[in-house]
């Protein structure tokens, strides 16, 4: 970071200019502009290294200033200065290219730290992905990394949505690692495994004497996360009662441990994750709409593995190398037949399922991983395995038959056939890029018949 770095402050409040100048003049050259129009003149005159931009100004708002800067292809990093409660405007500013935002009235150290980090530059996202073990080169996963890189340095609340096994916690850690809080703690809370009776004590903590067995103070996860990032994993599993308490904590950045009489201040960045569509949960009455808007300043959708073009091969080889080293195996390769099998599978468990299956195959294999070393099961009971004759699909259907009365084999035969037909068509749709005419030809049925069956 150069000692001659220049900072332009665009704000209509003289008091803000005085505070910023006092804080930064020992490290940077600070210039002032009291309106958007004056700010543009100073940008052309001084070419600052960074701009501090107020959101609310007369005549021309901070959003308008930011739009004009970007229209002129000006890529000077911009930090938004925002009064508390302007979340929607802040999100809009970030989407327009602002690199961070700081709430007014701001803390001296927080402003100084944000400026230093942005001017110095954070570590490359590729290093972060390597350190966290997140592999992937598909266009779908590159888009996710772009969003992580864009929103990670901010304090905006982020909601990660994706199926089970898509790597939500890993990407939450990535957001933390590229943030200005990277030296602080990263604390995950798995809301799906917390018993209802322990939610309050685990999250908020308690003081000695709060209840019968509370013979000492116990800090909660909120206290652990202070100064860092708090991950609310599978937040959709929290009851409405604790959703309300959490909403208050996030809004006020204060909380009260069980048995305490005083509130405690909190300084955390909240990242949430869910494998269910929270908008649908709102409609169903199981999730609070106000909490959703509070945690979803930015929504990042994680793609399922079956949609990540080319990543199955890359991930499979990555896991072969990882578990080969872990289990002290000689270098292994995946046979073409085994790779074909991996590529044709639907991956209901996504990357986590792939990792577990490769780990098992590495233990079984010697030199070459063959189809027989793989054991793939879908959530609906379809098992795909290899055999001497090549690839095959084996349907494993469970039916409970009562022996207290006669068994009607004809009805069972019909039911099995219908179930098998449904499973095969469903898996064909997931695992192949055929259109309906091609699929009908492959299955040996009329396209109209296939369309009716799909419906």
Residue 179 and residue 135 in one domain: yes
Measured distance between the N- and C-terminal CA atoms of the chain, rounded to whole angstroms:
61
Helices of type H across 47-100 = 62-71, 87-95
Residue 103 and residue 137 in one domain: no
Residue 103 and residue 192 in one domain: no
Residue 35 and residue 94 in one domain: yes
Given 120, 145, 170, which residue is the final one in a domain?
120
Instruction: Give the global pTM.
Output: 0.65
Residue 13: give its domain's CATH number. 3.40.50.2300
Classify 346 as helix, strand or coil: coil
Structural domain harbouring 384 = 306-395
Residue 255 and residue 350 in one domain: no
- 33, part of any domain: yes
What does each of the 455 residues of the chain score in pLDDT, given as a tens digit?
445 689 999 999 999 999 999 988 888 889 999 998 898 888 888 788 889 999 888 888 888 888 888 787 677 888 888 875 566 777 788 777 787 888 888 888 888 878 877 776 544 455 556 556 677 889 999 899 888 888 888 888 999 999 999 999 999 999 998 888 888 899 999 988 888 888 888 888 888 877 777 778 888 888 899 989 999 999 999 999 999 999 999 988 898 888 878 888 889 999 999 999 999 999 999 999 999 999 998 999 999 999 998 899 999 999 999 999 999 988 899 998 889 889 888 888 899 999 999 999 999 998 899 988 888 754 444 444 444 333 344 455 555 555 455 666 777 677 777 777 777 777 666 655 567 777 777 777 777 777 777 76
Overall number of domains in the chain: 4
- 401, part of any domain: no
Residue 304's pLDDT is 93
> Distance between CA 331 and CA 324 in Å, rounded?
7
- 403, part of any domain: no
**Cα–Cα separations (whole angstroms), residue 397 to 121, 339, 349:** 56, 26, 19
- 49, part of any domain: yes
**Bridge partner list, 385:** 392
- 435, part of any domain: yes
Other CB atoms within a 10 A radius of the CB of residue 59 amount to 9
Residue 173 and residue 94 in one domain: no
Site of tokens 């803390």: 107
- 404, part of any domain: no
Q: Residues in the chain, how many?
A: 455
- 1, part of any domain: no
- The tokens describing 354, both together, are 């792939």
Residue 132 and residue 225 in one domain: yes
Given 301, 317, 345, which residue is the final one in a domain?
301
Residue 133's pLDDT is 65
436-443 helix and 409-431 helix, angle to the nearest 10 degrees:
140
- The tokens describing 31, both together, are 């210039």
Given 86, 120, 154, which residue is the final one in a domain?
120
Residue 361 and residue 449 in one domain: no
Run of H or E residues at 104: strand 100-104
> Distance between CA 398 and CA 401 in Å, rounded?
10
């Amino acid at each position: 970071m150069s000692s001659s770095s220049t900072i332009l402050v665009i704000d209509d409040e003289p008091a803000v200019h005085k505070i910023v100048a006092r804080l930064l003049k020992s490290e940077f050259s600070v210039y002032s502009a009291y309106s958007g129009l004056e700010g543009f003149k100073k940008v052309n005159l001084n070419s600052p290294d960074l701009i501090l931009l107020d959101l609310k100004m007369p005549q021309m708002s901070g959003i308008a200033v930011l739009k004009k800067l970007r229209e002129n292809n000006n890529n000077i990093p911009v930090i938004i200065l925002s009064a508390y409660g302007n979340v929607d405007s802040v999100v809009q500013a970030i989407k327009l290219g602002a690199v961070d935002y700081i709430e007014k009235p701001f803390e001296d150290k927080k402003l100084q730290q944000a400026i230093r980090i942005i001017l110095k530059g954070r570590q490359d996202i590729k290093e972060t992905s390597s350190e966290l073990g997140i592999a992937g080169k598909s266009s779908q996963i590159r888009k996710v990394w772009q969003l992580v890189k864009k929103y990670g340095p901010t304090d905006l609340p982020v909601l990660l949505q994706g199926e089970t096994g898509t790597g939500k916690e890993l990407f939450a850690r990535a957001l933390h690692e590229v943030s200005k809080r990277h030296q602080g703690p990263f604390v995950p809370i798995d809301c799906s495994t917390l018993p209802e009776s322990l939610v309050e004590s685990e999250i908020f903590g308690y003081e000695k004497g709060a209840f019968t067995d509370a013979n000492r103070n116990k800090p909660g996860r909120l206290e652990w996360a202070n100064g860092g990032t708090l991950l609310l994993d599978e937040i959709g599993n929290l009851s409405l009662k604790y959703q309300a308490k959490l909403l208050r904590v996030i809004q006020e950045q204060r909380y009260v441990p069980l048995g305490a009489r005083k509130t405690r201040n909190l300084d955390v960045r909240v990242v949430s994750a869910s494998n269910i569509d929270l908008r649908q949960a709102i409609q169903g009455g199981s999730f609070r709409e106000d909490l959703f808007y509070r945690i979803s300043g930015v929504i990042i959708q994680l793609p399922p593995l079956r949609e990540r073009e080319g990543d199955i091969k890359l991930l499979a080889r990555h896991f072969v190398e990882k578990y080969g080293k872990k289990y002290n195996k000689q270098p292994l390769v995946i046979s073409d037949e085994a790779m074909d099998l991996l590529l044709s599978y639907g991956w209901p468990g996504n990357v986590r399922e792939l990792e577990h299956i490769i780990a098992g195959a590495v233990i079984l294999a010697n030199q070459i991983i063959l189809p027989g070393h793989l054991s793939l099961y879908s959530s609906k009971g379809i098992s795909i395995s290899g055999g001497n004759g090549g690839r095959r699909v084996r349907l494993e259907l469970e039916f409970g038959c009562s022996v207290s009365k006669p068994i009607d084999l004809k009805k069972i035969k019909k039911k099995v056939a219908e179930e098998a037909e449904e499973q095969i068509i469903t898996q064909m749709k997931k695992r192949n890029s055929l259109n309906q005419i091609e699929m009908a030809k492959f299955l040996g049925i009329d396209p109209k018949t296939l369309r009716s069956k799909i419906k």
